[in-house]
Amino acid sequence: MSGENDLIKLYSGRILALASDIPHLTRLDHPMASVKKRSPLCGSAVTVDLNVEEGRISAFGQDVKACALGQAAAAVTGGAIIGRTLPELEAGRDALQAMLKDNGPVPPAPFDGFEVLEPAKDYKNRHASILLSIEAACEAMAQALRADCA
């Protein structure tokens, strides 16, 4: 029963609120880059579209088919992503990964909203879903920057 109670605590009101209010939940019509990531373990999937101007994300859209934790992570990503550079995105992704997998600190601003997902570090089977949105955003931005330089 304790495992069930822990899982109930994991899905806190804050996580459920984030999951129900994901920013930029509409795909872009003509994105510079688009990346779909899927977690084979749970089947969660996120597709992100983005545009870049002067090395910063100028437009972002996402389609999120994930558990509440993946949705909450997509909400944090969507809320922080506009105006970010690739190094800022990669630092956010790396800090989130360290928080989940290596008991690292909460990511710094503007990705400090990932703090709500700190209790998920004990649920390794949820990590991939949580990382989907920011990983897809990093990959899409790298693609957009390569295309912009070509």
Residue among 142, 9, 31, 144 nearest 88 (CA) = 142
Structure tokens at 101: 């997998």
- Give tens-digit pLDDT for 82-130: 999 999 999 999 999 999 999 999 999 999 999 999 999 988 989 999 9
Residue among 21, 1, 8 nearest 119 (CA) = 8
Query: Contact at 8 Å (CB) between 70 and 79?
Result: no
- Give tens-digit pLDDT for 41-52: 888 999 999 999
Average pLDDT over residues 27-31: 96
Determine the Cα–Cα distance for residues 106 and 141; give it in Å rounded to an integer.
Answer: 23
Q: What is the pTM of this model?
A: 0.89
Neighbours of 5 (CB within 10 A): 9
- The yes/no answer on whether domain 2-149 falls in CATH 3.40.50.300 is no
